[in-house]
Amino acid sequence: DGGITQSPKYLFRKEGQNVTLSCEQNLNHDAMYWYRQDPGQGLRLIYYSQIVNDFQKGDIAEGYSVSREKKESFPLTVTSAQKNPTAFYLCASSAGLAGADTQYFGPGTRLTVL
Amino acid sequence: GENVEQHPSTLSVQEGDSAVIKCTYSDSASNYFPWYKQELGKRPQLIIDIRSNVGEKKDQRIAVTLNKTAKHFSLHITETQPEDSAVYFCAASKTTAGNKLTFGGGTRVLVKP
Q: Per-residue pLDDT tens for A19-38?
A: 999 999 999 999 999 999 99
What's the pLDDT at B1? 84
Confirm if B37 and B111 have CB atoms less than 8 A apart.
no
H or E element: which one contains B57?
strand B56-59
Q: Is the four-CA dihedral B8, B9, B15, B16 of positive or negative sign?
A: positive
Q: Measured between CB atoms, does B48 come within 8 Å of chain A?
A: no
Mutate which: B10, B31, B43, B90, vs A, most A CBs within 10 A: B43
Residue A17 clears pLDDT 60, i.e. is over it: yes
Residue pairs between chains A and B whose CB atoms are closer than 8 Å = 57
Q: Do B105 and A98 touch (CB under 8 A)?
A: no
| Conformation bin of residue A36: beta by default, left when phi > 0, alpha when psi is -120 to 50 | beta
Q: What is the mean pLDDT of each run of 10 residues along chain B (113 residues)?
A: 94 98 95 94 94 90 96 97 97 79 95 95
The secondary structure of B42-54 as a DSSP string is S--EEEEEEETT-
H or E element: which one contains A90?
strand A87-94
